[in-house]
Amino acid sequence: MYDRTQRLLGTAAPRPEAVQLLNTTANTTRPPEFQRLLGLERNVSEVEAAAFVVGPRTVYLNRNVTDRPAFTEHVLAHEFTHTVQFRTGAIGRVQAATGPGPDGEFASTAVIEGAATYAQDRYWRTHIANRTAPGERPSRAVAASYRASEGAARYSFAPYRFGYRYANATLSGPRALPSLYRDPPRTSEQVLHPGVEDPPVPLRVELRGARTGTWQETFAPRRGRLGEAFLRVALATELDDERAARAAGGWGNDTRIAFNDESGARSYAWVVRFDAAANASTFDEAVGTYLDRRTGSGPLVDDRPGRRWSGTVDDRRVAYRLVRTDDRTAVLLLGEPGFVDAGTTTVRGEDGRVVIATDGAENG
């Protein structure tokens, strides 16, 4: 099987030294708090790994899949592609090009896993499709898994789904994969929309009172860009897929900032800037419906501090507040009600930047 994969990829990379069988179970990792606040809970039944690698020498194969020969064969083609990525240094190059933070990590994962899924799919078409029991085509199985899941499980499938689509739209065949590794998409927006190469739009955020007040910026998690893919998946936990995609479309940039108080309670400000005012208005309307459904109640409306919602996550009271700072920018405050309250945290636009002031420091 490795020889077939090697010829498909047009590589001279040496084969892995072993394929090791393991008894694996579903991934039960709990999503981070920020994801849980936005409805990204994990459905553990959907994320059991068929196989994986951690380097070029060994492929680990789930013993539970070995009773399906065709499936096992094309899964191994996927993992063999990963071993080639390791051997040729592709993984390091892609990760360096996309950069740190959730959005860059999504883009690099989409390239790495999308490339392997692309090779796996081509392997299936070339060597398995005409057999008596070929099983489901890999790219269709990935798309079906993405559609059937939601929340954190869907977000885990998204790099495979959209990474494959990107590779399929931009490459002439598996032998062209090195060109993808040399010039990968840098953001999830570029992954979702092959051919779009625009960098994130400028976004400046200034904090006031976040080092001296009750609520101070924390770097666990660090400030970072989440990206269009995360926004789309989060909205789809309460909205239909088409509306979630429209509301996330036109994404231009974002940053997520975490705050702690003295007790260790954590809250967040998520600043999202869109390409155009119309995109921001579409998002504004959609996120209102999203939060109505997420909390089970409508907002308290006040144009000055923004719309506010109250809900429950992990058996504790939480709050959300959405503020527009200009015609292209929205800020979602979420977490502890005391942080979200307009008397504690103020948000406004000032000279082209977003100013977030905590503990009454808006004039600081």
Query: What is the domain partition of the chain in residue ranges?
Result: 1-192, 204-358
pLDDT tens over the chain, length 364 residues: 999 999 999 999 999 999 999 987 666 678 899 999 999 986 544 457 899 999 999 999 999 999 999 999 999 999 999 999 999 999 999 999 998 899 999 999 999 999 999 999 999 999 999 999 999 999 999 999 999 999 999 999 999 999 999 999 999 999 999 999 999 999 999 999 999 999 999 999 999 875 667 899 998 889 999 999 999 999 999 999 999 999 999 999 999 999 999 899 999 999 999 999 999 999 999 999 999 999 987 666 555 567 899 999 999 999 999 999 999 999 999 999 999 998 899 999 999 899 999 976 654 4
Asked whether the beta carbons of 119 and 78 are under 8 A apart, the reply is yes
CATH class of 204-358: alpha beta
DSSP for 61-103? EEGGGTT-HHHHHHHHHHHHHHHHHHHHTHHHHHHHHH-SHHH
Instruction: Indicate the SS3 state at residue 259.
Output: strand
Q: What are phi and psi of 101, to 5 degrees?
A: 90, 160
Structure tokens of 352? 């082209």
